[in-house]
Structure 1
Amino acid sequence: MSTPILELREYRPTDSTDTHDFHQVVIGLSGRMSLSLDGQATQHGRVGARNGAVIPAGVRHGYRGDGPNRQIVLDVPAAIAHATGTSRAFAREAFFALDAGLLALVHRVSASVDSGRPLDADDPVVREWLAALAPRLAPARHASRTVRLDVSQVDARLQSDLATPLDTATLAREAGMSVRHFHDCFVAMTGETPHRHLMRLRLARAASLLLGEDAPLADIALDVGFNDQSALTHAFRQHYGLTPAAWRRARSARSAN
């Protein structure tokens, strides 16, 4: 591989592993994917619409799409990284959060890639992409110190009691971090804030309960941590596009067919 490749990809919902001789940056555009980085310190995280991951050449990584997803992927030969002065950005594997500037660039890059035009080492899109990513990926950045956070352990602690979940301060203390550092690490490794993540877990549990039993919606709301049925209905409709009652009817009708 002698030139960079910048393209949109969708990762399948199957567990896969890979190792390659070029650097790679994966940034979420829509949906989510799980990613493990087995480099200097194994990290397990997720790439969503507000974060990304850098995978240096030679680092084995496992990945799996979590439902429909679109990722912007930049494959960078080591020679191109050296020529553009960005080699330091690929010194270690890491997850990182997107700031406002990178989020805007993501959409511009997406439009360029969708146009289907070929890219080469001197393409301004590639140059701009690397120039914007380099400060975020450099080993000195704050986000590089996220390797101690075990996202799966945080998930397990939250899932154990969604009705009365642990607050961020408690989760941070258990992880041995300040609240601010825990928040920054969590966003870097999952692409969402702890609060948004908790909300998604609650709604997923509610959806599961709606499928598995005929419990009243008010009871399901309390079971997953909402104050009342109205609060669950509002959040559920925002996330799934249907009220819980309509969602249950639709799934029941589909099962009957």
Structure 2
Amino acid sequence: MSTPILELREYRPTESTETHDFHQVVIGLSGHMSMALEGNATHYGRVGARNGVVIPAGVRHDYRGDGPNRQVVLDVPPRLAVTTGSQRAFAHEAFFALDANLLALARRVSARGNGERPPGADDPVVREWLGALTARLAPTRPAQRRVRLDLARIDARLRAALATPPDTTTLAREAGMSVRHFHDAFVAITGETAHRHLMRLRLARAAMLLSASDATLADIALDVGFNDQSALTHAFRQHYGQTPAAWRRERHACGTPG
């Protein structure tokens, strides 16, 4: 690869694996994708609308789209990273939270779409991206590598107690972090806050129970941590685009699980 590529992509909901000879940065615009990075240690995360992931050349990564998603992807030849002084941004694999500058750049690419001619190595747009990435990633990389969240453990803790989950202060203390550091680290590897992540887990459990059981909506609401059936219905409609009752009828009519 001799020239950079900056474009919009959607990742399919199938498990894929890649290792390539160029650096890559993926920044979320909408939806989510899951990714496992196998650098010095395998770690997992999700790319959403508030975060991104940097994948240095030679790092294997397993990924899949989690439903409809839209990502800004920048592929960077290692030689270009050296000549622009941005190689520090690609020193290690990492998930990271977006700052205002990177978010604005991602929105500009989204507005442009994929119709324009791909940028070249001397394109000011590419150099602007590399400068913004270096400013965002290089200063924070040591802290990110010293302490990483165990997302699988946190997920297990939350799933085991959806009705009465541990609060953010407890999760931060168990991770050995301040609440602020925990919040920043959580957004960096999931693309969402811990509260929004918990809400998504609650709604996923509710969808499973609606499809696999005959429990009342009121009982399901309490089981997954909502105060009442009305609160569940409101959140479920916002997330899935239909009421819990409609979801249940549709899946029972098809005879398929949720």
TM-score normalised to structure 2 length: 0.92
**Is contact 1:33–1:69 with CA below 8 Å preserved after alignment?**
yes
Q: CA deviation at 1:45?
A: 0.8
What is aligned with 1:63?
63
The answer to whether structure 1 residue 174 and structure 2 residue 174 are counterparts is yes
The answer to whether structure 1 residue 138 and structure 2 residue 138 are counterparts is yes
**Is contact 1:43–1:147 with CA below 8 Å preserved after alignment?**
no
Please give the secondary structure, in 1, of the residue aligned with 2:173: helix
Structure 1 runs, 4 residues or longer, greater than 4 Å off:
none
Q: Distance in 1 between matches of 2:55 and 2:24?
A: 5
Q: Distance in 2 between matches of 1:69 and 1:228?
A: 31
**Is contact 2:52–2:97 with CA below 8 Å preserved after alignment?**
yes
**Is contact 2:99–2:136 with CA below 8 Å preserved after alignment?**
no
What is aligned with 2:186?
186
Change in Cα spacing, 1:223 to 1:18, as seen in structure 2 (3 Å) is: same
The answer to whether structure 1 residue 94 and structure 2 residue 83 are counterparts is no
What is aligned with 1:219?
219
State percent identity of aligned pairs: 77
**Is contact 1:3–1:121 with CA below 8 Å preserved after alignment?**
yes
Q: What do you get for the CA RMSD once the two structures are aligned?
A: 1.8
For this pair of structures, how many residues does the alignment match? Answer: 256
Residues 32-82 of structure 1, C-alpha deviations (whole Å, 9 max, x = no match) = 111111112322111111110001111122212222222211110011112
What is aligned with 1:8?
8
**Is contact 2:32–2:65 with CA below 8 Å preserved after alignment?**
yes
Please give the secondary structure, in 2, of the residue aligned with 1:215: coil
The answer to whether structure 1 residue 110 and structure 2 residue 110 are counterparts is yes
Change in Cα spacing, 1:143 to 1:126, as seen in structure 2 (3 Å) is: farther
Unpaired runs of 5+ in structure 2?
none
Q: CA deviation at 1:196?
A: 0.3
TM-score normalised to structure 1 length: 0.93
Q: Distance in 1 between matches of 2:238 and 2:143?
A: 30
Q: Distance in 2 between matches of 1:183 and 1:158?
A: 16
What is aligned with 1:159?
159
Q: Distance in 1 between matches of 2:180 and 2:14?
A: 34
Q: CA deviation at 1:173?
A: 1.7
State the AA in 2 paired with 1:231. Answer: A
Residues 186-208 of structure 1, C-alpha deviations (whole Å, 9 max, x = no match) = 00000000000000100111111
Q: Distance in 2 between matches of 1:21 and 1:190?
A: 26
- Range 196-205 or range 131-140, more displaced: 131-140
